[in-house]
Chains A and B, each alone.
Chain A
Amino acid sequence: MSHFNTTNATRARQLIALYPEPRSALLPLCHLAQEQDGWLRPEAMAEIADLVGVTAAEVRGTATFYDMLHTEPIGRYLVSVCTNIACILDGATELLSHAEERLGVRVGATTADGLFTLEESECLADCDHPPCVQVNHRFVRTTTAERFDELIDELQAGDRAEEIPPHGTLVRIRRNGGLRVEPQRIERERARAAGPAGERAG
């Protein structure tokens, strides 16, 4: 039984088919799993391992190297406040303290309602709008305490759901060009490969 739902299982096979070697799809598949579940569940890591031909431990070992992959549940909205050099020169420390106060959690923690996780991030490459804030990796350009409070109010009210999808959804545009291998063909080939050896020659 696949941990990925039907749509995502198809998408997973398309992603793998894009690369000369299956393992290259490991990070895109981790993003896909986060899109489905909000975080990287052990079941998802096990399935990704099967799909790309490595062990579940290798998937976990790789995923934990990357800041954006979360092997524990996090909030619906990941609020990232940059405190790197350009931002610290322009009030990032104060804005991060304010964020902790407003959300009632320390950096790294999730609010009791499961809505927000606060993180202190490294440079997010939007340094002409300091201090830089992202929600679910979307730039919100919220640079003052007042604007930060408005942002949180809007997110709580669900007013920005269209602009900021739940955590895990990174890319909403689906590739439709250059998909050389039809997913149905991959399905057929996999079914054949799983069948008796004699059928594989066909």
Chain B
Amino acid sequence: MAVTDAPRIVTARLDHADSHTLERYLATGGYDGLRKALTMTPAAVAAEVDTASLLGRGGAGFPAGRKWSMLKKDPVTYLVVNGDESEPATFKDHLLIERDPHQILEGMIISAYALQVTQAFIYIRGEFALGLERMEEALNDAYRHGAVGEDIFGSGFSLDIVVHPGAGAYICGEETALLESLEGKRGFPRIKPPFFPAVIGLYGQPTVVNNVETMANIPWIVTNGGAAFAALGKGRSTGTRLFALAGHVRNPGPYEVEMVKTTFRDLIYAPSLGGGVREDRELKAFVPGGVSAPWFGPKQLDLPLGQDEVGAAGSMLGSGSVVVMDDTTCAVRASWRITKFFFRESCGQCTPCREGSGWLERIMYRIEHGGGREQDLDLLMDVCDNISPGVIWPPQQTTICVLGPSIPPSIAAAISMFRDEFLVHIKDGGCPFD
């Protein structure tokens, strides 16, 4: 089983218990990337990130360099970092925020310099009380160290950063909802077009929104060069990526592995990683990239962890969360719980999502709890079709944001992979796993 010896880029410091402190950060090369960047032109820094071909680590996987190049020229622009990690079973940003906040800050400062932005925000999920404290403390220390604030390291470049706490809403991880929330409003996503943040973002000004893990990669890229990053991985999926492995594995946890050269099988079964399915049970299915992604089964285990490779197989790496389900798992219950999540978190702006999620949840609930009807599977797919026409991959959209089309995939996958299981629930009037 091949687990490559690629360097750990974003988790290098985490073996130290005090990885969150400025002292440890400076002792392990911290802020060297920033010092180097400040000797380069902003365009040269941006060029390194472009060369690295760093794909955004939030979920959509859009190349960070390209995102930066799309920022509309304007006297006032903003950088906003998305640390609202709420996609179920995703816990990589949580780790990075709590355990290495300076690395994120350094990435932000370098990015702000490259973009020539003088005001940046980091929006951190409200439920991360410790993470918020760690980030606020790191920011205080960074100001004291001269790494942020006026005239950073004597370069003449100035930047202010604000740590902004969320208040509990999954939808605020969607970039335009996040901007609304940062403006002090309900987290209602904005419609694109015209509200592409790079053109009309925070306070109507052009804004770059990047994920926490994306930022965490920037110091290494500047220090070691974009080419060194691009040499890792393969094709469009370069570098390493931090995967959050959860569910029925022996060693659930966050694992940073080289992209494409590592497979789902490596991640789940390698002794140094997941260590296999608990109690040596059979793998039934797994969620490959957050609960918005269609599930995979044992046949897809040898797929490489690459964005295009997983995309071509009909799902996505998404938020980097992999959830393993063994043969004791009820597929109906698992997909019902995911549907219930979307029902709770739909912001309510668009009818297909607001109403559809509730209908789906109630139908799923009654199947799981013994009230299923023969026509329910067709009904489920019909409602799914109204939210995301055709229920195809990549999904079509009838709503302002992608929360709507994120609802059908787990239901559609569960029905297509385990149709008999649904039928048994309906025929027997209850859950065979109870």
Q: Does A46 contact B (CB under 8 A)?
A: no
Residues of B within 8 A of A185 (CB): none
Closest Cβ–Cβ distance, residue A20 to chain B (whole Å):
6
Q: Are B337 and A125 in contact (CB under 8 A)?
A: no
Instruction: With CB as the reference atom, state the residue of chain A lying closest to B187.
Output: A65
Which chain A residues (83-99) contact chain B, with CB distance < 8 Å? 83-86, 88-90
Is the beta-carbon distance between A134 and B144 smaller than 8 angstroms?
Answer: no
> Shortest Cβ distance from A56 into chain B, in angstroms?
14
CB distance B167 to A27 under 8 Å?
A: yes
B:66-115 near A, CB below 8 Å: 85-91, 93-94
Complex alpha-carbon distance, A23 and B167, angstroms? 15
**Is residue A153 contacting chain B, with contact meaning CB distance below 8 A?**
no
Given A31-B165, A125-B91, A175-B139: A65 and B127 within 8 A (CB)?
Answer: no
Given known pairs A85-B323, A173-B133, A173-B140, the reply for A66 and B341 (CB within 8 Å) is no
CB-CB under 8 A from B93, the residues of chain A are: 125
A62 touches B186 (CB 8 A): yes
Q: Which of A27-75 contact B (CB under 8 A)?
A: 27-28, 30-31, 52, 54, 61-63, 65-69
Closest to B410 in A: A85
Tell me the complex Cα distance, A174–B133, Å.
Answer: 9
Known contacts A136-B129, A178-B148; is-contact A23 B184 (Cβ 8 Å): yes
Asked if A2 is at the interface of the complex by the 8 Å CB criterion, the answer is: no
| Shortest Cβ distance from B326 into A: residue | A89
Residues on B with C-beta less than 8 A from A63 are: 167
- Measured CB to CB, the closest approach of chain B to A61, in angstroms, equals 7
Selected contact of B203 from candidates A20, A66, A67, A86, CB within 8 Å: A20
| Chain B contacts for A126, CB-based, 8 A | 91, 94
| A139 proximal to B (CB < 8 A) | yes
Query: CA A74 – CA B160 in complex, angstroms?
Result: 36
> Contacting B88 at CB < 8 Å: which of A23, A84, A139, A175?
A84
- B119→A20 contact, CB < 8 A: yes
Indicate if the CB atoms of A84 and B341 lie closer than 8 Å. Answer: yes
Please, which residues of chain A bring their CB within 8 A of the CB of B90? 123, 125, 127
Q: Which residues of A contact B321 (CB under 8 A)?
A: 127
| CB–CB B162/A171 < 8 A | no
Nearest CB on A from B354, distance (A): 14
Tell me the complex Cα distance, A69–B170, Å.
14
Q: A68-B168, A128-B246 are in contact. Are A21 and B203 (CB under 8 A)?
A: yes
Taking a contact as CB atoms under 8 Å apart, the answer to whether B169 and A67 are in contact is yes
The CA-CA distance from A7 to B88 in the complex, in Å, is: 38
B291 CB, nearest partner CB in chain A, Å = 6
Q: Majority SS of interface residues in chain B?
A: mixed
Q: What's the dominant secondary structure at chain A's contact region?
A: loop
Least Cβ distance of B26 to chain A in Å? Answer: 16
Q: Let me know if A23 and B126 touch, CB within 8 A.
A: no
A90 to B249, CA, bound (A): 11
- Given A84-B337, A125-B128, A175 and B163 contact (CB-CB distance below 8 Å): yes
Report whether A171 and B136 are in contact in the complex, using a CB–CB cutoff of 8 Å.
Answer: yes
The reply on A170 being an interface residue by CB < 8 A is yes
**How many B residues touch the partner, as a band?**
35 or more
A191 contacts B by Cβ under 8 Å: no
Q: B323 near A86 (CB under 8 angstroms)?
A: yes
Kindly state the interface size class of chain A when it binds its partner: 35 or more
Choice from A23, A28, A125, A138 contacting B185 with Cβ under 8 Å? A23
Q: A19's closest neighbor in chain B, by CB?
A: B162
Closest to B88 in A: A123
Whether B139 and A30, one on each chain, are in contact in the complex, defined by CB atoms closer than 8 angstroms, is no
* Residue contact A25 to B160, C-beta cutoff 8 Å: no
| B161 contacts chain A at the CB level, 8 A cutoff | yes
Q: Are A62 and B184 in contact (CB-based, < 8 A)?
A: yes
Contacts of A133 in B (CB 8 A): none
Determine how close the nearest CB of chain B comes to the CB of A65; give it in whole angstroms.
Answer: 4
| Cα-based distance from A126 to B321 in the complex (angstroms) | 12
Binary A-proximity of B145-162 (CB < 8 A = 1, otherwise 0): 000110000000000111
CB under 8 Å from chain A, chain B span 298-352: 321, 323, 325, 329, 333-334, 337-338, 341, 344-345, 347
Q: Indicate whether A6 reaches chain B with its CB closer than 8 angstroms.
A: no
| Interfacial chain A residues near B140, Cβ < 8 Å | 173, 175-177
Residues in A neighbouring B162, C-beta threshold 8 A = 18-19
Instruction: Render A7-20 as a binary contact track against B, CB cut-off 8 A, 1 for contact.
Output: 00000000000111
Q: Is A122 an interface residue (CB 8 A)?
A: yes
Q: Is A188 an interface residue when CB atoms closer than 8 A count as contact? A: no
B167 touches A66 (CB 8 A): yes
B197 at interface, CB cutoff 8 A: no
Residue of B at shortest CB range from A83?
Answer: B337
* Chain B positions 221 through 259: 1 when the CB is less than 8 Å from some CB of chain A, otherwise 0: 000000000000000000000001111100011100000
Nearest Cβ on chain A to B273's Cβ, whole angstroms: 12
Q: Identify A86's interface contact among B161, B163, B247, CB under 8 A.
A: B247
Question: Given A24-B183, A68-B127, does the pair A171, B165 have CB atoms closer than 8 Å?
Answer: yes
Cα of A170 to Cα of B323 in the assembled complex, Å: 30
Given A84-B89, A171-B133, A175-B136, 14 additional A-B pairs, CB 8 A: A27-B167, A27-B181, A28-B164, A31-B165, A69-B168, A85-B89, A86-B246, A86-B323, A89-B325, A125-B91, A127-B90, A128-B253, A174-B136, A178-B139
Those 3 A-B pairs whose CB atoms lie nearest each other, nearest first: A177-B143, A67-B168, A26-B184
Question: Would you list 19 pairs from A and B whose C-beta atoms are within 8 A, ordered by A residue?
Answer: A18-B162, A21-B203, A23-B184, A27-B167, A28-B164, A54-B184, A66-B169, A66-B187, A67-B167, A68-B127, A84-B88, A84-B337, A85-B291, A85-B338, A89-B247, A127-B90, A128-B91, A128-B246, A173-B137
- Measuring CB to CB, which residues of chain A are less than 8 angstroms from any residue of chain B? 18-21, 23-28, 30-31, 52, 54, 61-63, 65-69, 80, 83-86, 88-90, 122-128, 130, 134, 136-139, 170-178, 180
